[in-house]
Amino acid sequence: MNAIDAGYRHIDCAWRYGNERDVGEAVEQKISEGVISRGDMFITTKLWCNFHEKNKVVPLLKDSLKNLKMNYVDLFLIHWPFGFKEEAPSWPKNKGKSAYSDVDITDTWQGMEKAYDLGLARNIGVSNFNKSQIEKLLLVSRTRPVCNQVEVNPNFNNKRLIAYCKSFDIVVVGYCPLGRIESFGRPGVPKPTMLDPKIMKMAKKYNKTSAQVVLNYLVNNLGVAVIPKSITKSRIIENFNIFDFQLEQKDIDYIESTNKNARVCLASYFGDHKDYPFHDEF
């Protein structure tokens, strides 16, 4: 509700997050208050890994729509390229290969196309797909993926994948745009750039916060859509107010120099899955 009041119109959901009911209720409430109409909103949700078989895609989306109390979503994504067996846990981190399914991503894509044909998803796309996985889909798809939602932040600027996606008019939506501050301290996770003292000092010059500087850089300089998450009303408002300033070139150069090619979101438990996406360079 705070996000809608602040002006957000794109809400990122996933069956796996369990946030569809709350988002559906907030949208319904704001429609009843006359603040928005359904057509103003852009609602994304995602197919979880236990439902990659072609004939499971539409039923899973129908379940998401029931949760959302909507009759369509604006964008439906395959959450990860790797699949799990339906009966496996939804995050089978200690189960090993016995939990994995070997459904081909092109079969799952046919299920996504069916969801599109039925009008249940107005657009279809992917998340966490690497270049060769997108290539594989482009070769067989009737309806092309419009979006790849992947990690993008100054520590992991993902430039080569962004350029590849753009060359096929695939919109990149950047997740963990602020570097998911709560993961800082875990092995291999670098300090989020918004905590860099130089960025904090730079932000003061623009009368902005370091989070706003980072989000402005991602949108204006990397050309991606961003989906910062916050449960804090003041930060929700802060993260929306990023369009009214222009970074100087020397500041852009500094932010670029902080790239470390280091991800926050690795899903490394599944590194031995045949479709794990992050062994390739991009």
Ligand X SMILES: NC(=O)C1=CN([C@@H]2O[C@H](COP(=O)(O)OP(=O)(O)OC[C@H]3O[C@@H](n4cnc5c(N)ncnc54)[C@H](OP(=O)(O)O)[C@@H]3O)[C@@H](O)[C@H]2O)C=CC1
The count of residues interacting with ligand X (CB under 6 A) is: 25
Residue 2: which H helix or E strand, with range?
A: helix 2-6
Minimum gap (Å) between residue 13 Cβ and ligand X: 8
Identify what 117 binds: ligand NHF, ligand X, none; CB under 5 to 8 Å per kind: none
Residue 79 annotated as part of some ligand binding site: yes
Range 175-194, binding ligand X (CB under 6 A): 175-182
With tokens 């070997």, the residue in question is 102
34 — phi, psi (to 5°)?
80, 15
Q: Would you count residue 219 as binding ligand X (CB under 6 A)?
A: no
Q: Would you count residue 230 as binding ligand X (CB under 6 A)?
A: yes
Select the span of 92-100, 131-139, 227-235, 248-256 touching ligand X (CB under 6 A).
227-235
Minimum gap (Å) between residue 197 Cβ and ligand X: 15
Residues 8, 17, 72, 269: which is the catalytic one?
Answer: 17
Q: Would you count residue 181 as binding ligand NHF (CB under 6 A)?
A: no
Beta-carbon count within 10 A of 29 CB: 13
Angstrom distance (rounded) from CA 184 to CA 40: 35
Residue 160: which H helix or E strand, with range?
A: helix 159-167
Q: Which is nearer to ligand X, 135 or 182 (CB)?
A: 182
CA angle 121–132–156, rounded 5-degree value: 85
Q: How many residues does the chain have?
A: 282
Q: Would you count residue 229 as binding ligand X (CB under 6 A)?
A: yes
Max Cα distance, the chain (Å): 54
Residue 12: which H helix or E strand, with range?
A: strand 10-12
Q: Is 17 considered catalytic here? A: yes
Q: Would you count residue 265 as binding ligand NHF (CB under 6 A)?
A: yes
Range 114-143, binding ligand X (CB under 6 A): 127-128
Select the span of 47-55, 161-169, 230-238, 252-260 touching ligand X (CB under 6 A).
230-238
Return the structure tokens found at 21. 């009911």
Backbone region of residue 227 per phi and psi (left: phi > 0; alpha: psi in -120 to 50; beta: other values): beta
Angstrom distance (rounded) from CA 155 to CA 189: 9
Residues 91-120 vs ligand NHF: string with x where CB under 6 A?
A: ------------------------------
Return the DSSP state at 88.
S
Residues 250-279 vs ligand X: string with x where CB under 6 A?
A: ---------------x--------------
With tokens 């995050």, the residue in question is 91
Identify what 143 binds: ligand NHF, ligand X, none; CB under 5 to 8 Å per kind: none
Describe the crossing of helices 210-221 and 249-257 by its angle, rounded to 10 degrees: 100
Residues 9-48 vs ligand X: string with x where CB under 6 A?
A: ---x------------------------------------
* 155 and 179 Cβ atoms separated by less than 8 Å: yes
Per CB under 6 A, residues contacting ligand X are 12, 79, 127-128, 149, 175-182, 209, 211, 227-232, 235, 238-239, 265
User: What are the residue numbers of the active site?
Assistant: 17
